[in-house]
Chain A
Amino acid sequence: MTVKFSKDHEWIKLEGRDVAVVGITDYAQHALGDLVFIELPKVGATYNKGAHFAVVESVKTAAEVYTPVTGEVVAVNNVLENDFDLLKSDTEGWIAKFRITNTDELNGLMDEAAYKGYLKTVE
Chain B
Amino acid sequence: MRYLPLTKNDRTEMLAKIGVTSVADFYKGLPVTDHFDLPDHQGELEVERFMVNLANRNRAASDGPFFLGAGVYHHHIPSTVDYIIQRSEFLTSYTPYQPEMAQGTLQVIFEFQTMIANLTGQDVANASMYDGATSCAEAALMAMRLTGREKVTLGTELNPQYRDVLESYIGKDNIVDTADETVAAIIVQSPDFFGTPHSYASWKAKADAVGAKLVVVITEIVSLGLLPAPTEADIVCGEAQSIGIPMSFGGPHLGFFACKQDYLRQMPGRLCGETVDADGRRGFVLTLSTREQHIRREKATSNICTNQGLCALAFTVHMALLGEDGLKTLARLNHERACALADELSNIKGVRVMNENFFNEFVVEFESSAKEVVMKLAAQNIIPGLRLDDHRLLMAVTEMVSEEDIKTFVRVLGE
Contacts and interface: CB of A to CB of B under 8 A. Distances in A.
In the complex they form, do A and B come into direct contact, defined as C-beta atoms under 8 angstroms apart?
Answer: yes
User: At the interface, is chain A mostly helix, strand, loop or mixed?
Assistant: strand
Contacts of B290: 36-37, 57, 59-62
Interface in B274-311: 289-290, 295-296, 299
B298 to A, nearest CB: 12
Interface residues of B, number: 6
Most buried by B among A59, A60, A62: A62
User: At the interface, is chain B mostly helix, strand, loop or mixed?
Assistant: helix
Nearest to B300: A62
Interface in B250-283: 265
A61 to B, nearest CB: 6
Nearest to B296: A62
Contacts of B296: 62
Interface string B194-220: 000000000000000000000000000
A117 B81 CA distance: 62
Interface in A36-89: 36-37, 57, 59-62
A84 to B, nearest CB: 14
A36 B290 CA distance: 10
A57 B295 CA distance: 10
A60 B296 CA distance: 10
Most buried by A among B289, B290, B295, B299: B290
Nearest to A36: B290
Nearest to A58: B290
Nearest to B265: A37
Interface in B214-233: none
Interface of B: 265, 289-290, 295-296, 299
5 contacts: A57-B290, A60-B295, A61-B295, A62-B290, A62-B296
Given A59-B290, A62-B290, A62-B296, 12 more contacts: A36-B290, A37-B265, A37-B290, A57-B290, A59-B289, A60-B289, A60-B290, A60-B295, A61-B290, A61-B295, A62-B295, A62-B299
